[in-house]
Chain A
Amino acid sequence: MTGPEPDEDLVRRYLAGDERAFSLLVERHQTRVFNVALRVLGDPDDARDAAQDAFLSMLRKLSQFRGDSAFTTWLHRVTVNSCYDILRKRRRQPMLRLVGDEDDPIPETGPPVADHADATVDSIDVSRALLLIPEEYRVTLVLADIQDVPYDEIARVLDVPIGTVKSRVHRGRIALARALGLEGPEREPSSAPGPSERES
């Protein structure tokens, strides 16, 4: 029994002239790429744009793929960069953010349900809360806890030390829990992790 053809082999086939191999790569990874973008950006239209940009970047840069890292690592980096491009645009053009677009199932702003006495949250709460935490935490959490990317691979994707990844994961989880209103009244303000972190 043979498994699916490795991504790296599909890359080689495409570069050798087999354009079908590129379609296979897109089909294989489009759900992952879209979901990373959706959770990072929180907006389906922006996620679609980011994913389209990611695949175009993938096509443009495929000949630069050296094979010294896994294809998924490389594609995650391309996808995260596409997301950062859109986040940068948002910062430069805040007036262009769409408010109240009925196409958007995930609202752009607004706090999640604040009172979670029973500590249960639904997926919309989680999606909203993700948007309330710093981007660097959000990106790291999306890769680690939603996409199950190992810490060492995240370190390569984001080009940061693995210690920084672990720190971001932990601080991001705490920030998300607080955004979800999961912290009880015994919270100590001095323990709140802020956007700064120790870059180890």
Chain B
Amino acid sequence: MTHPEELLAGYVDGTLSAQERAAVEAHVAGCARCSREIGLATSARSALRSLEEVPAPADIGSLAIREASGSRAASARGTPRQGTPRQGTPRWYRVGGLVAAVAAGLLVFTLVLPHVGQSDDSGGGDQRALSAAERDTGLGKFSASASGIEIQHENYDNTSLTALISSIAAEDSSAGGAMATAAAPAPSSTRSEAQVDKALACIVRSAPGETGDLKRLIRARFEGTSAYLALFTEGPGAGQPADRAIIWVFATDDCRILASSLAQL
């Protein structure tokens, strides 16, 4: 028996013509399978239509809007604009891998999963645009050193944050100055490059004066708020070794600073 499958969707929707509807009903009268499927499809459609719309996060288009404004500003300054509105500011950033980190002179040990830092060779979805302001503040440096993000289920507060950075500083001292994370709490997993990019964007937006070396990115909670933790080491400059570590804590939703903590190495 040939079943009128293409008509069944419209039958359930109520969008068939009278002639089509009559044809389906004639078939269904003698077809238990189609009769049963119409019942199931009607229930499924009803269930889907019961799903309520979820409000979009307030800043969901802000990156694109800033990009749009940035390209307009560039255009107004005389930057030739060819083709798309993004022309003139086409620079894209990718999350670099461990090779990039070593090339940058950083010694980073991560015990996150093997995929961390893998370069992704797919299309545009792996890339993330940043605003002109973000680029100008040198996010590329951070993106080159961030080989992944650790996902922890900790809910930090000021006390546990201080304990975290103190333990890391102690490990660093015992590791001869290299910020080894081998003994750090094991991350439960890692997240996509998009999560790394969002964390990096928070650093640039909310801690633009940070000039240290980014050592670790963590996503966890701080006093119940979903947060990115960014760990830096800083030195006096002039080639001197790092002598302090700092953790910045940013809210994941709007990058506001929730806390920071400093420890001497």
Bits for A52-94, please: 1 = Cβ < 8 Å to B, else 0. 1101111111111000000000000000011001101100110
A48 touches B9 (CB 8 A): no
| A52:B69 contact, CB within 8 angstroms | no
> How far apart sit A151 and B9, CA to CA, in the bound complex (Å)?
10
Pair A19/B72 contact, Cβ less than 8 Å: yes
Tell whether, in the assembled complex, residue B54 and residue A56 are in contact, meaning their CB atoms are under 8 Å apart.
no
Chain A residues near B136: list those with CB within 8 A.
none
A-side contacts of B226, CB under 8 Å? 103
Interface residues of A, count at CB 8 A:
83
**With known contacts A89-B122, A93-B115, A126–B50 Cβ distance under 8 A:** yes
Q: Is A117 an interface position by the 8 A CB rule?
A: no
Complex formed: what's the CA distance from A141 to B52 in Å?
A: 15
Give the docked Cα–Cα distance between A81 and B122 (Å): 13
Query: Is the CB of A186 closer than 8 A to any CB of chain B?
Result: yes
Q: Which residues of B contact A159 (CB under 8 A)?
A: none
**A29 CA / B134 CA spacing, docked (Å):** 25
- Assuming the contacts A56-B64, A96-B113, A141-B48, asked whether A183 and B5 have C-beta atoms less than 8 A apart, the reply is no
Among A52, A89, A191, the one with the most B-chain Cβ atoms within 10 Å of its Cβ is A52
Q: Which of these, A30, A89, A151, contacts B61 with CB under 8 Å?
A: A30
Q: Which of B34-42, B137-145, B177-185 contacts A (4 or more CB under 8 A)?
A: B34-42
- Give the Cβ gap from B121 to chain A, nearest Cβ, in Å: 9
A35 touches B120 (CB 8 A): no
Do A145 and B49 have beta carbons less than 8 Å apart? yes
The prevalent SS among residues of A at the interface is: helix
The answer to whether A156 has its CB under 8 Å from any CB of chain B is no
Q: Smallest distance from the beta carbon of B112 to chain A beta carbons, Å?
A: 10
What B residues does A129 contact at CB under 8 A? 47
Is the CB–CB distance between B51 and A86 below 8 Å? no
Contacts of B113 in A (CB 8 A): 95-96
Given A34-B57, A59-B68 in contact, is the A188-B151 Cβ separation under 8 Å?
no
User: Does B223 lie at the interface of the complex (its beta carbon under 8 Å from any beta carbon of A)?
Assistant: no
Interface residues of B in 120-149 (CB under 8 A from A): 120, 122-126, 128-129
Interface: A114 (CB within 8 A): no
B153 smallest CB distance to A (angstroms): 7
User: Taking the complex as formed, is B45 at the interface, i.e. its CB lies under 8 A from any CB of chain A?
Assistant: yes
Q: A85-B125, A95-B115, A170-B41 are in contact. Are A26 and B61 (CB under 8 A)?
A: yes
Docked pose: A137 CA to B123 CA in angstroms: 24
7 contacting pairs across A/B (C-beta < 8 A): A49-B195, A52-B63, A53-B194, A62-B84, A62-B85, A96-B191, A174-B44
Apart from A95-B189, A99-B189, 20 more pairs, CB < 8 Å: A30-B60, A35-B56, A53-B125, A56-B67, A59-B84, A60-B85, A82-B125, A85-B125, A88-B125, A89-B122, A93-B115, A103-B226, A151-B10, A170-B12, A173-B9, A173-B45, A174-B40, A174-B41, A176-B44, A182-B40
**4 interchain residue pairs of minimum CB distance:** A85-B125, A26-B61, A55-B64, A34-B56
